[in-house]
Amino acid sequence: MSKAVASATRFDTLWLWYLGRPASPQLVGELQLLNVGGGVSLTYAGTWLETGFRLSEDLPLADMEHLPRANGRAAGAVDDARPDRWGERVIQFLDKPARLSLMEYLYYAGDDRFGALGVSSSKDEYLPRRNGPLPQLANAQALSEVMRKISAREPLTDIERRMATAGGSFGGAKPKALITIDGVEWVLKFFSGEPVDVPLIEHASMTLAANAGIRVAETMPVALAGETALAVRRFDRTPNGRIHCLSAGTALRAAVAAEQPADLGYPGLAQLLRRAGDTSEGANRQEMREVFRRMVFNILIDNTDDHEKNHSLMWVPGSREGRLRLAPAYDVLPTNSGQGHQEFVVGAEGRDSTLANAMSQCTLFGLEGKAAAQEVLSIIAVVDRWRDHFTACGVAQTDIESLAGRIDGAELLRERRGFSPVGYAAPAPKRRRHPFS
């Protein structure tokens, strides 16, 4: 911890910095804890107003105090800089701040948070909560034990505490840590008492999604004593910098007025890319179609945990208005719940997990019926081979049979076998009658 905050355990004011080039941090503005609602506001610094970019659509480059949309949240894109449930749990366990407001969570999340924003105790220089060097792949087994102890609230040794402080406050709901592999940052996700080998199943699902034409984050299974962990390469990092990112929820809420409900779904995400995506070489049109593929794939493998934070967007460098690209897919795996509905809206029938619902608004993805039906057929062909693919990835047959109860169960199998492109073929254009015939 820096000398400036050595004795501080609560913050009413902090400063936001942009770390696109970590060697040259740029001051973004002032963060202020609000007395009413416990949220955090942002006021841009004058230098950022002159040279920076809009962090999200609800944070325009204007000299004003930007307020959060709801109690307990931070303004706009700043809210994505906070830790999620696991990160909060690590902070509570390790740092034990005297007060647990959103400001403390923002500060104690440290320097390795999602995206390219950093939180500092100073406006004159970037002074974050320093976490120390990240653990390496060789420390994976020891990290697994540290994460288990934190989950069980068991005491840590000094070495374990340093290891947890360095890599343990990243976001998400389940135990995970940050590590480096050959100088590259990865997120290491651990087994958490599930009845099946979730980390290995996630690797198999992600690589299966790649076969379906979906860009996914790179994954690598890591063998531990008696279990598997999963390393996921960070897509918000480059060899020389960091990429500003938004969760889909933040981006979709920012696109509408504060009093209006956000369109939290796949069609809404596709339309956001149409309007605010990267138009160079038609990138946004291609990504709209990929959103459609992701939606269909998630339906067919029973991935119903496709909520707003399991989709992300990346800022396009150089765009003052904040142009966005679709980030690689992550957290893609069967939930094995059979609940019959997605967390993200699918189509005209809301969140219903059916291909008819997926096709109902295909034009919002830039796809006419015939083209959308062909996309569905290609994904069905990939999912039909899921057993062979999971076996090749090393997933145990007992786990495959457990998943088959949903993926090959009556409802989803009926979706795959019963889909026909015939009804979605565009009608032939009517011939014009010659006026003199």
What's the pLDDT tens digit per position in 395-426? 999 999 999 999 999 999 999 999 999 988 76
Same domain, 408 and 375: yes
Query: Using one digit for the tens of pLDDT, what is the confidence trace for 296-332?
Result: 999 999 999 999 999 999 999 988 888 999 999 999 9
Tell me the CA distances in angstroms from 100 to 3, 33, 110, one per residue in order.
21, 12, 15
End position of a domain, from candidates 86, 120, 154? 120
Q: Is the pLDDT of residue 241 over 70?
A: yes
Residue 247, φ and ψ in degrees, nearest 5: -70, 155
Paired with 32 in beta bridges are 13, 41
Task: Using DSSP bridges, classify how beta strands 13-18 and 117-120 pair: parallel, antiparallel or unpaired.
Answer: antiparallel
Number of domains in the chain: 3
The predicted model gives 347-351 an average pLDDT of: 97
Residue 307 CB-density burial (10 A; 0-12 exposed, 13-18 middle, 19+ buried): middle
Q: In what order do the strands lie in the sheet containing 184-189?
A: 176-181, 184-189, 227-233, 219-224
Residue 294 lies in a domain: yes
End position of a domain, from candidates 194, 215, 235? 235
Question: 122 by DSSP, 3-state: which?
Answer: coil
Q: What is the pLDDT of residue 173?
A: 72
Read off the CATH number of the domain in which 312 is found. Answer: 1.10.1070.20
Question: 221 by DSSP, 3-state: which?
Answer: strand
Same domain, 211 and 145: yes
% of residues, the chain, pLDDT over 90: 81
Query: Against a cut of 0.75, is the pTM above it?
Result: yes
Same domain, 279 and 398: yes
The predicted model gives 88-116 an average pLDDT of: 92
Query: Using one digit for the tens of pLDDT, what is the confidence trace for 14-46?
Result: 999 999 999 999 999 999 999 998 999 999 999
Read off the CATH number of the domain in which 205 is found. Answer: 3.30.200.120
Q: Which domain holds residue 85?
A: 3-120
Same domain, 34 and 103: yes
N residues, the chain: 437
Helix ranges, 195-282 (H): 198-211, 248-254, 266-276
Confirm if 80 and 314 have CB atoms less than 8 A apart. Answer: no
- Closest of 102, 14, 12 to residue 2, by C-alpha: 14
Q: Is the pLDDT of residue 83 over 60?
A: yes
